[in-house]
Structure 1
Amino acid sequence: MKSNLSGRRFLTVTLLNSGITVFEFLGGLFAGSLSLLSDAIHNASDTLAIILSYVADRISQRPQNQQKTYGYKRAQILSAFINAALLLLVSIFLIYGAIKRFAHPVPIKSGPMFYIALFSTLANFGSALLLNAGAKHNLNMKATYLHLLSDTLSSVGVIVGALLIGWFHIYWVDPLISILVSLYIIKEAWEVLGTTIGILMEGSPKLDYDAIKRDIMALPNVHNVHHLHAWYIDENTVICEMHVNMSDMCISQAEMTYQQINKLLKEKYQIQHVTIQPEVEHGIDEPLFVSTKVERRRYDPHEDEGK
């Protein structure tokens, strides 16, 4: 699925986040606010994430070739994995810094903290809106969108913290907000990380495989389905291969059965690419999933003595 991240949007979001990073970093040093500095670090990682996401999106649109027969779609999955992993690492680092700040609280200038956080909230929210359309069906865009959304929430938290510090002088609110926002980011990033790892490890999509077998065997001239494999190329493209036992027939007749199977799998199960190995008797009693585990036996040096 082609993303909606145009060059103009990319440039706008990149410039916005670069400006926010510098503004918050200087403001955090001036106000003595850890949560502002945390926000600045998040925004710095956002800028890198957006650039990586854009590059991966362009690479993924390259056509198939002899070196990449399935194309370059996994470039976006790899980008989403890196972005989610980066979010996790940054969040853990910020939690560590916030815990240290609990032990050694420092006075914070709530006025500058409030206005800087207000500006950052508006800018981050605008950036998130620009990427929102592409985040619903694209893991790469979702990972980048999460970066921006997390910074928006973080900035809102800083605003609340600035108000509480200004009104009640409770400085421990600053590191507390940093921890709460970081924990939320870890939760969201972990889900993206788990999905991308599953795709990169060629994990099977969640399909009703028993129903798939029943539907295929209900077709004319089909007697068994076995040795099935299914995996993702990206989060929207499912590949499937299987052995199908059919009646002994001409290839021209078998092609009609291929077409029926392909239509069934594409329309009912959203499987975009199917490879079928036709068979008559071979494997007719084998189950749908066949283990390919190779049995290893311990090497016996005495076996070679008589040779």
Structure 2
Amino acid sequence: MTFTLNRFDLTAFLQSTLAEDLGGPLGEGGKDVTSEAVIPADAIFSGVMDSRVDAVIAGLPIAEAFFRYLDPDVEIEVLVAEGEAVAAGTDIMRLKGKGRAMLTAERSALNTVQHLTGIATMTNDYVRRIEGTGCILLDTRKTIPGLRVLEKYATRMGGAQNHRMGLWDAAMIKDNHVAVAGSVDEAVRRAKEAGVEKIICEVDRIDQIEPALAAGATNLLLDNMEPATLRGAVTLIGGRVPVEASGGVTLETIREKAETGVDYISVGRLTQSAPAADIGLDFAPV
């Protein structure tokens, strides 16, 4: 199995996560005292991971990697694809291998799948709400420190597109930047003069649109605007740059905002507030 994500070190993630649970790296004092005390070293277990709720699955390759890291000979059958929607009660992975290794990896594997599946499932709920509008759902930088790449991977599995990955791949001029620069156009001008190619400018008033565009903004973020205001802003912009709506978006409001003609809607709660999915794993001795 090969699972790679840009800017994500899978081996380092496995090692640090397991060391956190074991009190240190394996072979350097880290251990699962319960499994070592209770489970015979030669015990073989079989296991089934299942989704106990309707969900969009994400994270199974990482769960598989946890089990293989502790038992390279473990037999694993992944039963569903990443990003696949499943009904409650669906088996998503079967395993057979060393009992101690399975129990030691269990929590780390489940935590990862539960968290990423929760994000993918919530994301898919939002994506389905705006089907047919032509609007694209984006995530944000509101991620748990250290987990951004994984969480943004999960939003893709749910059907969204990634916004900028960090502070390095695009400029986003927000109210604090404007406050220091003195105006929207001055902030945009400074970014343009610095050679930044993609300049996203947040505006919360209609009268900021033309100055931002004149100064060189390549994208506009319309912040906390009601649908009627968004519709007027889209008409004024007239397709000159891509337009994103953001702020206070919920499942109840996203459709109306998408129908105003904006190109994108970004939703922070996809990664900030998604509940973990109820994913279970039951073992039995062989």
What TM bracket, shorter-length normalisation?
under 0.3
Greater helix share, 1 or 2? 1
TM-score by length of 1: 0.25
**Bigger relative contact order, structure 1 or 2 (CA pairs below 8 A, ≥6 apart):** 2
